Structure 1
Amino acid sequence: MRNVVLGIAEHDGKILVYKGISPDTGIPFYRPLGGGIQHCELSRDALPREFKEELNAEIEILEFMGVIEEVFGWNGKKAHQIFFNYRIRFSDPAFYEDRKFKVLDDSVTAFWKPISDFQNGDRLVPDNLLNWL
């Protein structure tokens, strides 16, 4: 089991996400930025650390949105994650520009994606997160 914290940044009807591909189905998915919560670290403390590591960005936590627990297939095995979800705001307004952002500690790129894309069928993970936007 893995505990994960996610920061949901919204701007002009879009959220900041990265695109991944399921290794089991080949189907694309989109996920907000964040990452693993270390042992004895609170989710609220892990989130600013993760955004500093991923984008070298300072954030402000606006509100705790809730927890989503999922069991899913990944590389032919079952995975179990608990997602702590927070609405956030960037301290630097440059992060609200409609451009791509290289994630520093991963091979993915973050970008602003319209929420309407998810309402029209693109997959946002964790599942049920769209209901909170």
Structure 2
Amino acid sequence: MFEQSASSQAFPPAAAEVSTPPRDRPAPQRDPFIEHYFKRIDPKVAASFTPEQCAAIKNMFGARGVAKHAVELRRSLPIGRRRYYLVLLLGRERRGFDRLFSEGAVSGPFTFFGYAITAALWLIPAGLLAVVLQALL
């Protein structure tokens, strides 16, 4: 009634059955996204994933990749008997205003606070420079 063909194509080939690519074709490039997530698991387990499985994992995580920031500071601080972490990320904002607003990242007080920090970051060095120049002259 129901017949299944005994095809060897139903499962991915075992590691011993996989042949090396011919020398006229370049080897496939390593995917940095997959390498980032696979570096925390056993290399034997990571090698057992097929390209289709790797693509599915990449699709599941949204293929966001590893973000690069202009300033990326990650530290673990011992305070008393516990450890706390500090993360400072600085970079250009790539999200649109609509997305920022829908996520609640943009609001009146927060925007004012951001402008105050920006002004302080510009005024503090300018004030220090003025004091140094006045001392020299």
Higher helix share: 2
TM-score range, shorter chain: under 0.3
Higher strand share: 1
| TM-score, scaled to structure 2 | 0.22
Higher relative contact order (CA 8 A, sep 6+): 1
| Structure (1 or 2) with the larger CA radius of gyration | 2
